[in-house]
Structures are given as structure tokens and as C-alpha cells.
Amino acid sequence: MAQVRFHSGEQLPLEMHKVRIVQKLTLLPIEERLRAIAEAGNNTFLLQNADVFLDMLTDSGVNAMSDRMQSAMLQADDAYAGSATFTRLAGKLAELFGTRYFLPAHQGRACENILAETYVKPGDVVPMNYHFTTTKTHITKRGGRVEELIADKGLLPVSEDPFKGDLDTDKLVALVEEVGADRIPFVRMEAGTNLIGGQPISLANMRAVREVCTRYGLKLVLDASLLQDNLHFIRTREEGYADTPIRDITAEIAALYDAIYFSGRKLGFGRGGGIITNDQQMYEAMRGFVPLYEGFLTYGGMSVREMEALVVGLDETMDPDVISQGPMFIDYMARELAAHDVPVILPPGGLGVHVDASRFVDHLPQTEYPSGSLASALYLVSGVRGMERGTLSEEREPDGTERLADMELVRLAMPRRVFTLSQVKYAIDRVCWLYENRELVGGLRFVEEPEILRFFYGRLEPIGDWQDRLVARFREDFGDSL
Ligand SMILES: *Cc1c(COP(=O)(O)O)cnc(C)c1O
């Protein structure tokens, strides 16, 4: 987004695109929202989208496509093998990342499945800056263990540090010395760390991690699902990169890794995913799993139409106006909330605004799922659907006790180029109202708790009648407004 100063002195993110296709939204009255959230077991994943006003659950597969992406979809080459669409996508990845080999997969977690299946054995340890839900599950299911080596600053809710996604290289060295390099199949770096507020990694830190990996002969893998935000932050926050083209930053990053995988539902604003590498051995070791789990080597479970959209979407990712839209809207929303004393993660990252539930509803113990309660309450008072990113998103310890999350967050994702500023202002207004009435928000308990990835489809109920009291307070304050 171009740097435009408003004469009024207001600081507003200005859209560098116009809207030409729209989708109608509905906003239900709060009584119907109460029914909807109860039917969804107080799990925002289980809400019907028709009952949602602003869907801020995720930025996965819900970003707006450009006119160029949509028109590219029409030239898709439907062939089981050897599709020209594959050649175009592989060519674009090679152009941007300098990688020779491309293994297509239907989405990001499928890449994690292939990586874990190929490399993780029982007793192995996979060091990373921070885990992602599906990543960790794929590794632990194969008897491996995840070690999070995030720099201490990464877990501070409020800080001025521009790169809270950095990995602590001293911790990495200590871990390698302790467990031995042969127990470490690869080190994983996650750009734009999803679970701790979409915080970026600096290029300086990526280089330092590479150095340690080279010293000990370790493979280094990048999860590039949220790379577009990370690219924006390197350009705007890291010294010396303000005038570096995004293409050059991308190439510099790519050269540091043995393999890179991504979710095309985020990177490239489409759907799909894949693994890219220059390492022929890695390519050959993983290749067999693509036809087994995904589809033939030239589509890997993706629709050729989505692949064509990705070719253009990846190219548009190199445009600062395109990749700055999300972070600038997020920055606006987070800073407005902070100005009203609402606790949010600062500095704002990519992906979305992260409300700090541990401070928002500090009267709730982690065992009553403060983030889940807050996500349920926010939907109730606004029709805005956020996502729980706290203890509910963890899995229980083998002995059945709760693993309490490091951070209790409600993520309000900002799908790229989807919402207008007035919609964002509505969301801010309702979050602020809820904050003023936060003492009414109570806890949740499980009614149905699945063993694996429980946050996706577990069902919960409110402890006590707090939701009815919240509805009554809303009516007192807003009258018959929606
Ligand atoms: C979304 C995401 C994934 C998984 O990608 P899917 O396409 O949803 O399977 C992996 N890593 C990170 C960092 C993500 O944000």
C-alpha cells in the first residue's frame, strides 16, 4: 500500500484495489446468535457461515483473488500427467525461490505429513522457533518430539521488538549438544509464527540459524505458509531492506533453506501447497509419497484451476501493495483496540489481530478455556467469528492432564482484501463493548472432547448462565440494534 498521508492527520490504511465482485452478508439478532453458538457447541469452527457476519476465523483459503488470478483459472490444462499448468507453477516457484524441484500437495499439512513420514523416526527431536498445530501432530504421531526454541521476547505479549518470531540460536546449540545431531532430522523455521501472533523472523536470525545448522550438518526447513507477511515485515522493519525489492528478499531467504513448504491457501492467495528444494536426495526421498497420499506428481491433489490461480497469486506476492494490505489493516485494528485499553499482542503481526484473553478475561482460569470463552462471547455480541488459540488448541498430556498454553489468544484473522474499513471499525466497536463488560464472560467445559485436534470439532457448554446475562446487558445498551 502506497504511503499516503491524509490532510486530516488521521492514519488510515488505504486500499490499493477496488471491489468488483461482492457477497451478501447477514447479521442475525443476538438472540439468534445465542442459538447458533449453542448449536455449535461454543466452538467457532462449528458455526455455520450463514450465521456469521464477519468471518475472521482464518486467512486460509478465504483471501480475495485478483482479476488476473481469476482469469488465469480459465487457461488451466486438465491432464492427469504432464499438465502444462504444472509446468507453469513449477516454473514460477523456480523463478521466485530458485529451486529446481517441486512436489505438489493438496495443502500445507499434507507437506508436513510427507516431511514427517520421510524423516521423523521414534525418539527424534525437531527443533523449531514455534510449533503449528498440524505440524506438531504429524511429528508426535511418528514418535518424534517438538522442541520450541523461540527467543524469550517471542512470548512477551507486549513489546517493541519487531521480530518476535526469532529462534534463540544459543538454545539450538545447547539442544544439539544435548541430544546429538543424529537425533535431529531437520530444524524447522516458521515464517510469521501462526500461534504466537503472526510474528515475523528477521533475515539476520534466519542467517544465524543457517550457520548453526551448517556447523552441525543439520537440514533446515522453512514453513513458508505465512511468508508473505514476513516479507512485508522484513522490508518495513529490518534495517537495510526498505528499498530491497520483495523478489530479492525472497531469493535471499530461499537460499538459506534445504527445503521449503507452504500452504497455498495463504501464500499465493489460492488453495493447495507444495514442497520445493534444490536437494535431489530430499526430492527423491519424498517423491514417492506424493502419488501415494496426494495425487500424481503433476497435480498433487490440487485442482489445475487453483494451480493457475497460484501461479499469478505467487507473482502478485512480490508486489508490496498486495502484501502490505493485511498487515496494515491488522496494524490499524490492533492499535485502535490498544488505544481503548483492550489487551492485544503488540507489535501487531501478520495474519490477524490477536486479543490477549489471559488479560481480557483474567478472572478465568486456563482450565476453563479463557480464549474459547472469549471467542464464543465475541461471536455472541457481534456476529464476528474469531478463533481460539490457547489451551483448547493444545492436546492433553499422555496422562490426561491439560497442557496449559503459553499464551491464551483469540485470533481475529484478516483475510486479505476481503473486509472494508467500516466493517473493521464495527468489529473494533463490539470488542471494546465486550471489554467494558468483560466481568460477565464466564468459562466453558467440554461436553464432547475428541482425542486428536480437539479444537476443530470438540463441543463445549458455558459454566453457568453468563451468556444469558451477556445478552440481557447487550439489549440494555443497544436497544433493538442488531
Ligand atoms: C495454515 C498453516 C499450515 C497448514 O496449512 P493448510 O493448508 O491449512 O494445511 C502449516 N503451517 C502454518 C504456519 C500455517 O499457517
Instruction: Please answer whether residues 195 and 393 qualify as being in contact, where contact means their C-beta atoms are separated by less than 8 angstroms.
Output: yes
CATH code, domain with 343: 3.90.1150.10
Q: Which residue has its alpha carbon closest to ligand 1 atom 10?
A: 108
Q: Judge if the beta carbon of residue 267 lies within 6 A of ligand 1.
A: no
- Confidence band, pLDDT 50/70/90 cuts, at residue 67: very high
Within a domain: 91: yes
Within a domain: 14: no
Identify which of 57, 60, 189 to mutate to test ligand 1's pocket (most ligand atoms within 8 A of the CB). Answer: 60
Q: Judge if the beta carbon of residue 109 lies within 6 A of ligand 1.
A: yes
Q: Which residue has its alpha carbon closest to ligand 1 atom 4?
A: 108
What's the pLDDT tens digit per position in 311-350? 999 999 999 999 999 999 999 999 999 999 999 999 999 9
Q: How would you classify the pairing of strands 187-190 and 409-413?
A: unpaired
Q: Judge if the beta carbon of residue 194 lies within 6 A of ligand 1.
A: yes
Angle at which helices 84-97 and 304-316 pack, to 10 degrees?
Answer: 20
Task: Decide if pLDDT at 1 tops 70.
Answer: no
Looking at the fold, whether 197 and 273 belong to one and the same domain comes out as yes
Final residue of a structural domain among 318, 343, 372:
318
Looking at the fold, whether 367 and 238 belong to one and the same domain comes out as no
Rounded Cα distance between 364 and 368, Å, is 6
Beta bridge partners of 460: 446
Q: Judge if the beta carbon of residue 193 lies within 6 A of ligand 1.
A: no
Looking at the fold, whether 179 and 204 belong to one and the same domain comes out as yes
188 CB-contact burial (10 Å; exposed 0-12 / middle 13-18 / buried 19+): buried
Q: Judge if the beta carbon of residue 263 lies within 6 A of ligand 1.
A: yes
Final residue of a structural domain among 259, 294, 318:
318
Please report the pLDDT score of residue 217 as a whole number. Answer: 98
Rounded Cα distance between 210 and 327, Å, is 27
What's the pLDDT tens digit per position in 72-88? 999 999 998 999 999 99
Looking at the fold, whether 45 and 155 belong to one and the same domain comes out as no
Q: Judge if the beta carbon of residue 107 lies within 6 A of ligand 1.
A: yes
Cell 539476520 locates to: 204
Task: Decide if pLDDT at 3 tops 80.
Answer: no
Within a domain: 96: yes
Q: What percent of the chain has pLDDT over 90?
A: 95
Rounded Cα distance between 455 and 46, Å, is 10
Q: Which residue has its alpha carbon closest to ligand 1 atom 6?
A: 108
Residue 172, C-beta contacts closer than 8 angstroms, at least 6 positions apart: 127, 149, 187, 209, 212
What's the pLDDT tens digit per position in 249-263? 999 999 999 999 999
CATH code, domain with 139: 3.40.640.10
Rounded Cα distance between 115 and 257, Å, is 14
What's the pLDDT tens digit per position in 428-458? 999 999 999 999 999 999 999 998 889 999 9
Looking at the fold, whether 314 and 440 belong to one and the same domain comes out as no
Atom number of ligand 1 nearest to Cα 273: 7
Domain count, the chain: 2
Please report the pLDDT score of residue 304 as a whole number. Answer: 97
Within a domain: 18: no
Looking at the fold, whether 227 and 340 belong to one and the same domain comes out as no
DSSP code per residue over 296-318: -TTTTT--HHHHHHHHHHHHHTT
Q: Compute the distance from residue 261 Cα to the ligand 1 centre, in Å.
A: 10
Looking at the fold, whether 116 and 219 belong to one and the same domain comes out as yes
Q: Judge if the beta carbon of residue 226 lies within 6 A of ligand 1.
A: yes
Please report the pLDDT score of residue 4 as a whole number. Answer: 87
Within a domain: 8: no
Looking at the fold, whether 115 and 143 belong to one and the same domain comes out as yes
Within a domain: 126: yes
Atom number of ligand 1 nearest to Cα 58: 1
Q: Compute the distance from residue 109 Cα to the ligand 1 centre, in Å.
A: 6
End-to-end CA distance of the chain: 33
Looking at the fold, whether 120 and 220 belong to one and the same domain comes out as yes
Within a domain: 1: no
Q: Which residue has its alpha carbon closest to ligand 1 atom 12?
A: 225
Catalytically active residues, by annotation: 80, 132-133, 223, 266, 389, 455
Q: Judge if the beta carbon of residue 190 lies within 6 A of ligand 1.
A: yes
Q: Which residue has its alpha carbon closest to ligand 1 atom 14?
A: 225
Looking at the fold, whether 77 and 225 belong to one and the same domain comes out as yes
3-state secondary structure of 49: helix
Question: How many residues are recorded in the chain?
Answer: 482
Angle at which helices 246-254 and 84-97 pack, to 10 degrees?
Answer: 90
Q: Judge if the beta carbon of residue 230 lies within 6 A of ligand 1.
A: no
Within a domain: 44: yes
Q: Which domain holds residue 303?
A: 67-318
Helix intervals (H) in 361-458: 370-382, 421-436, 454-457
Phi/psi-derived region of residue 9, left when phi > 0, alpha when psi is between -120 and 50, beta in every other case: left
Q: Compute the distance from residue 191 Cα to the ligand 1 centre, in Å.
A: 11
Q: Compute the distance from residue 263 Cα to the ligand 1 centre, in Å.
A: 5
Rounded Cα distance between 275 and 222, Å, is 10
Please report the pLDDT score of residue 452 as a whole number. Answer: 85
Looking at the fold, whether 158 and 206 belong to one and the same domain comes out as yes
Helix intervals (H) in 354-453: 357-360, 370-382, 421-436
Identify which of 194, 196, 228 to mutate to test ligand 1's pocket (most ligand atoms within 8 A of the CB). Answer: 194
Looking at the fold, whether 286 and 411 belong to one and the same domain comes out as no
Please report the pLDDT score of residue 165 as a whole number. Answer: 98
Final residue of a structural domain among 271, 300, 318:
318
What's the pLDDT tens digit per position in 4-45? 899 999 989 999 999 999 999 999 999 999 999 999 999 999
Rounded Cα distance between 265 and 27, Å, is 26
